[in-house]
Structure 1
Amino acid sequence: MKPLKSKNKITTVVLLAAGIGSRLHPLTLDSPKCLTVIKGKPILQHLLDTFRTQGIKKIIIATGYLEHRIREYMNQHAQNMQVEYVFNVDYQTTNNIYSLWLT
């Protein structure tokens, strides 16, 4: 993917990764939806690859369900990027808008 041309360089992104991913059960019973493998690698890795090509430096991740798995993955794969976690304690009863509000 070619870097986007823009007058205003975006260097920070927000990822919403707090949900249970119930529509993808049984794939998400013991793994967050963002770690589901598509075309040979987790969705999260596809995003990280795109962020790198676009010059993203900081990622804010709203987490909830199986947060520790997301942290483990990011610790191993998000080199040279600043990562901030925002835990949605109410992830089982709220939606993406609430997770976004928390960030």
Structure 2
Amino acid sequence: LNLEENQNNEKCLYCDEIFSNPLPLKVLKYLHDIKTGEVSANTAVEQIEFCRIHHGEKEIIPYGIKKKYPLDIDFINLPNRILNMKSEILKVIRGQKYSEYCVNAIKKIQEIG
């Protein structure tokens, strides 16, 4: 299994998801760590973590980029950003301003109960 090249649409041994081609650096690093024994490939935790990483790199990150989500979150300035948006957030909460995210959240809450 030549995961670095992945010319043949190789699948993950754990979840059968086809790896992207070329493999993202984060996935290559994790595979390197498995091969060198830095992390074990035999524990369920490591298997889940590996699948979480390759799925995130293939599906979640490209989706976020498409939606123009930031790649890095500035957690230090996040409280100030929220305070600056307080009036807009309150309008959404009170139903005075439309928010697709709010509509989707309400739908999900109603589905779950």
Same fold (TM over 0.5): no
> TM (normalized to structure 1)?
0.24
Richer in helix (by share): 2
> TM (normalized to structure 2)?
0.22
Richer in strand (by share): 1
